[in-house]
A = this chain, B = another copy of it.
Amino acid sequence: MGLSAKEIAQHSSRESCWVIVRGRAYDVTEFLPEHPGGEKIILKYAGRDATAAFDPVHPPDTLDKYLDKSKHLGAIDKADLEAVAEAEKTRVRTPEEEAEAREDEAVAEARALMPPVESCYNLLDFEAVARRVMKRGAWAYYSSAADDEISLRENRAAFQRVWFRPRILVDVANIDLSTRMLGSRVSAPFYVTATALGRLGHPDGETCLTKAASRHNVVQMIPTLASCSFDEIMDAAEGPGNPPQWLQLYVNKDREITRRIIQHAEKRGCRALFITVDAPQLGRREKDMRAKATALGDGGSNVQKTEGHSTDVSQGAARAISSFIDPSLCWDDLPWFRSVTRLPIILKGVQRVEDVVRAAETGLVDGVVLSNHGGRQLDFAPSSLEVLAEVMPVLRARGLDRRIEVYVDGGLRRATDILKALCLGAKGVGIGRPFLYAMSAYGVEGVDRAMSLLKDELEMDMRLLGARSIDELGPELVDTRSLGSHPNGVPEDHLSRLAYDPLQTPAQKSKL
């Protein structure tokens, strides 16, 4: 006989908070402040069944992995469980549940009118479609970035400050897109980079990306914060020749957890370890905050006013220094990583020349990803393309370009973007949001088509550029003179514009 629903229901406050997930009870009181999604969302389900809210965003092994066994309270009494389910069904919906139901209907309607996947001709088309058919909260989570989203848009703009110098009269009958990354042969010079919470966009979550990637023999980097479990993702690979998979890692304060994750991935056949170094604290994304506040039904506020004190919970939580991500991670930690795995180690999120050189000189890492985390962390962090253009000549001058591989991500939408990065010295490029949008709108088929489009564009553009294979791409094919010139690279600051009250000319008199 298990726990009674009645007993659980008594633990419904921040002081003692129990929840039911898949028929088992858990004491999450101490965990509340560490929840990356904020404590408020948990407290909504305090003392009752949270499964419906839990499932879409958490891998099944989440509680096993992150909640101490002592907090696993055991199975709920079977009879009670049915009663709980029944009660849930007949419960009067809260206004915010009503609103959610209305949004579900609107989404369904929008999806019914969604254009066929074949009418998407480029990655931005998927984004435009996804924006129309995704739930508002999911869209906000994927699309938002730091502060005024200047870096987010600069990431795109930077590519548009580089021009080509195409070569003519080259025999381009045959084009070869394949290349090597970290020792593995892949069919194209791009990979699916790690992004969190795939099931917000599609019920099958990250496995959509896996299936499409394996069909195309391109690499997928598996995120720590996936909403499918690591093994679900590894298992989803389709087709004959499994392409390599990589692991993206947020380093936990508890290094034992981190060690287990790494070694499990290595054992499952992951081919590289990407340690995120640009997120000692998760960034603040106001578009996401505003969407969440509205969804939580508190009229634009994230505040809890229970018990006489007012704390900005959801915001605080999102930015909390939780044990999930260790803010004290530093250069001194690298030897430990080298000691626990034989995988190539790559630092993801390097943002300045000095740190790339330092990484190469440690002799402990095999590569870096120049990245500003999709503009989601520090606004006005430079675009990876600009750092790349600055760093490669330095690496070459010091003979370090053979010691590490340099990757970039952020803002890539066109094959021309990829070619620009490769001309400037990148081994490959990561693409994140575009595949998420393709997945959110069209599932595996969307991602598949997005990859086909990129490959078709790549082949054509290499032909037009006069380069037959990836190794024929070099700096002589691009004009980067305007890359470092930011005045125009500064995307519009929407909030300033909205807040600014323009001057007026004298008004005509009123006729009345």
A interface vs B, CB < 8 Å? 110, 112-116, 118-122, 124-125, 127-129, 131-132, 139, 143, 147-150, 153, 156-157, 160-173, 277-281, 283-284, 286-287, 289-290, 293, 299-303, 310, 312, 315, 319, 321, 327-331, 333, 347, 349-352, 354-355, 377-382, 413-414, 416, 420, 456-457, 460-461, 463-465, 479, 481-482, 484-490, 493-496, 498-511
Contacts and interface: CB of A to CB of B under 8 A. Distances in A.
Contacts of A293: 119
Nearest to A441: B506
A110, A156, A302, A496, most chain B CB atoms within 10 A: A496
B506 A170 contact: no
Given A485-B482, A489-B487, A164 B118 contact: no
Q: Which 10 A-B pairs have the closest CB atoms?
A: A487-B488, A119-B300, A128-B505, A482-B486, A378-B464, A124-B495, A115-B506, A118-B301, A127-B499, A173-B328
A153, A277, A464, most chain B CB atoms within 10 A: A464
B166 A352 contact: yes
Given A118-B301, A119-B300, A488-B490, 10 more contacts: A114-B508, A115-B506, A118-B312, A125-B506, A160-B493, A161-B487, A168-B278, A171-B329, A485-B485, A499-B505
A128 B498 contact: yes
A432 B48 CA distance: 48
A156 B500 CA distance: 11
A416 B147 contact: yes
B378 A277 contact: no
A165 B382 contact: yes
A442 B281 CA distance: 30
Nearest to A382: B163
Contacts of A487: 161, 482, 485-489
A425 to B, nearest CB: 18
A131 to B, nearest CB: 6
B128 A506 contact: yes
Contact of A166 (B132, B149, B278): B278
Contacts of A510: 113
B378 A503 contact: no
A372 to B, nearest CB: 8
A284 B113 contact: no
A260 to B, nearest CB: 22
A350 B329 CA distance: 43
A25 B496 CA distance: 46
Contacts of A299: 115-116, 119, 509
A172 B500 contact: no
A454 to B, nearest CB: 12
Contact of A286 (B121, B171, B486, B499): B121
Given A118-B303, A277-B168, A380 B506 contact: no
Nearest to A143: B501
Contact of A131 (B118, B149, B167, B499): B499
A486 B490 contact: no
B327 A171 contact: yes
Nearest to A334: B169
Given A482-B487, A485-B487, A278 B464 contact: yes
Contacts of A465: 378
A224 to B, nearest CB: 17
Contacts of A352: 165-167
A94 to B, nearest CB: 18
A143 B500 CA distance: 9
A160 to B, nearest CB: 5
A382 B164 contact: yes
B300 A506 contact: yes
Contact of A494 (B319, B351, B464, B503): B503
A388 B400 CA distance: 37
B287 A501 contact: yes
19 contacts: A114-B508, A119-B293, A124-B499, A157-B490, A160-B490, A161-B487, A163-B381, A164-B378, A165-B382, A166-B378, A167-B352, A169-B333, A169-B347, A279-B464, A284-B456, A379-B414, A413-B496, A481-B485, A485-B487
Given A290-B121, A460-B319, A496 B280 contact: no
A170 B349 CA distance: 13
A315 B118 CA distance: 10
Given A124-B505, A128-B505, A147-B122, A167 B460 contact: no
Contacts of A378: 164, 166, 416, 461, 464-465
B460 A380 contact: no
A169 B503 contact: no
